[in-house]
């Protein structure tokens, strides 16, 4: 998977544009920041420079929308928060002003995706920073996303227009080191996790579900998060650990369901393979005890089954709680019953009902 290309000078020669795509600072490197224009109908703005399902889409830009590009990571531009982008900050960390703005009161005040202390962290603000408060919810403020929150959009869908108005221009060569250079150790651990994922995916493709183990993957991501020195890489590693921890838990549940289904199928096969003898005269009916459920006008609380066929329904005399409990105890067992037999109960033509007087488990030889 791609994680986080250097800009080159190019001229459009197709005949409809005659200007250079990118500004330069004279050294051949792209100059930032610059203003760009979206060239595709819908462009996803993401919180990480990748397109896997775990990467959150923060906003969608429309064709013709303008963005300020401040840097690059591989095939993505780093862009200023798009119009309408917002994050959440804990209310006690902000002093609210009468005009709806606010001032941050603590250092490293976390910015999160929603109004929960456990929500993903997407940035931080220092004491004194000003924020625009949009609304309040359960002690949290939703604020317009500040420039400290990084957003990413695919390079190939953004056309260079010119320098960003009122912004000092810096070259890519003098820009701050990108995460992949600063976080070599953490990035190596993430690549290790990705290789481990590929190995597990191969086992899944081969239907070797019982051999799949995402524990080492989670371990590698957690180690990457601990080693990360930048917010982007740390967030990527934390998302990886969280996503594959959830997937691992799901896998455990799936395995359990598969084992239960296999046992049920095997039991069903054995039941169909048996040769049932004609019930001995001492029983009015034989079969496996099952419950009926809360069905309208049900002819009995229990039933006897053979394979998928209902032999008869069972009921107890009024107020005979002891017999009802006895039927419950024999659930799933092969039994013989005696009692008052009646045919075609109301709403159940063709069925037989036995008001149970005695029941006994039959041991098959």
Question: Among 128, 150, 117, 140, which residue's Cα sits nearest to residue 45?
Answer: 150
CATH label, 285-361, candidates 3.10.20, 2.40.50, 3.40.50, 1.10.357: 2.40.50
- 78: Cβ contacts below 8 Å, ≥ 6 apart: 69, 70, 71, 72, 150, 151, 152
Give pLDDT, residue 274.
Answer: 65
Give pLDDT, residue 113.
Answer: 85
Give pLDDT, residue 17.
Answer: 30
The tens digit of pLDDT for each residue in 38-57 reads 999 999 988 888 877 667 88
Give pLDDT, residue 54.
Answer: 67
The tens digit of pLDDT for each residue in 166-198 reads 665 555 444 444 544 567 888 888 888 888 888
Mean pLDDT, residues 98-120 taken together: 88
Mean pLDDT, residues 112-133 taken together: 88
Phi/psi-derived region of residue 26, left when phi > 0, alpha when psi is between -120 and 50, beta in every other case? left
Q: Is the four-CA dihedral 332, 333, 336, 340 of positive or negative sign?
A: negative
Distance, CA of 134 to CA of 115 (rounded, Å): 13
The tens digit of pLDDT for each residue in 217-256 reads 899 889 988 888 888 788 888 888 888 888 888 888 887 8
The tens digit of pLDDT for each residue in 305-328 reads 998 899 999 999 887 888 989 999
Distance, CA of 229 to CA of 206 (rounded, Å): 38
Distance, CA of 353 to CA of 185 (rounded, Å): 73
Domain 1-85+149-176 matching CATH 3.40.50.150: the answer reads no
Mean pLDDT, residues 140-160 taken together: 91
In DSSP terms, which residues pair with 116 in a beta bridge?
A: none
Give pLDDT, residue 83.
Answer: 80
The token pair at 149 is 């929150």
Tell me the C-alpha to C-alpha distance, in Å, between residue 239 and each of 82, 109, 221, 348: 23, 20, 8, 57
Q: Domain boundaries in the chain?
A: 1-85+149-176, 86-145, 179-271, 285-361
User: Does residue 259 carry a pLDDT above 90?
Assistant: no
The tens digit of pLDDT for each residue in 323-362 reads 989 999 999 999 999 999 999 988 888 999 999 999 999 8
CATH label, 179-271, candidates 3.40.1350, 3.30.70, 3.40.1000, 1.20.58: 1.20.58
The tens digit of pLDDT for each residue in 7-31 reads 222 222 223 333 333 444 444 445 7
């Amino acid at each position: 998977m791609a994680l986080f290309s250097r800009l080159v000078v190019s001229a459009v020669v197709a005949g409809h544009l005659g200007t250079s795509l990118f500004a330069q600072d004279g050294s051949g490197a792209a100059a930032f920041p610059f203003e760009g224009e979206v060239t595709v109908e819908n462009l996803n703005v993401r919180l990480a420079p990748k397109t896997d399902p775990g990467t959150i889409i923060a906003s969608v830009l429309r064709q013709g929308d303008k963005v300020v590009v401040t840097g690059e990571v591989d095939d993505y531009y780093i862009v200023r928060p798009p119009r309408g982008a917002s994050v959440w900050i804990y209310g006690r960390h902000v002093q609210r002003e009468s005009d709806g703005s606010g001032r941050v009161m603590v250092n490293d005040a976390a910015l999160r995706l929603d109004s929960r202390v456990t929500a993903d962290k997407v940035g931080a603000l220092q004491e004194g920073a000003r924020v625009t408060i949009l609304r309040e919810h359960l002690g949290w403020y939703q604020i317009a996303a500040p420039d400290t929150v990084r957003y990413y959009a695919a390079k190939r869908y953004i056309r260079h227009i010119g320098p960003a108005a009122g912004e000092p221009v810096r070259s890519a060569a003098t820009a701050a080191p990108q995460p992949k250079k600063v976080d070599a150790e953490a990035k190596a651990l993430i690549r290790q996790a990705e290789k481990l994922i590929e190995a597990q995916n191969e086992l899944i493709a081969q239907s070797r579900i019982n051999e799949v183990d995402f524990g080492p993957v989670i371990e590698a991501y957690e180690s990457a998060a601990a080693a990360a020195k930048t917010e982007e890489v740390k967030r990527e590693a934390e998302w990886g650990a969280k996503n594959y921890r959830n997937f691992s838990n799901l896998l455990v549940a799936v395995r359990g369901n598969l084992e239960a289904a296999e046992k049920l199928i095997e039991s069903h096969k054995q039941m169909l393979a048996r040769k049932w003898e004609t019930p001995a005269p001492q029983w009015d009916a034989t079969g496996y005890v099952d419950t009926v459920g809360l069905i309208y006008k049900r002819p009995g609380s229990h039933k006897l089954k053979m394979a998928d066929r209902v032999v008869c329904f069972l009921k107890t005399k009024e107020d005979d709680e002891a017999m009802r409990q006895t039927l419950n105890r024999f659930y799933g067992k092969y039994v013989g019953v005696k009692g008052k037999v009646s045919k075609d109960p109301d709403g159940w033509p063709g069925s037989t009902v036995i008001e149970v007087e005695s029941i006994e488990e039959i041991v098959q030889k």
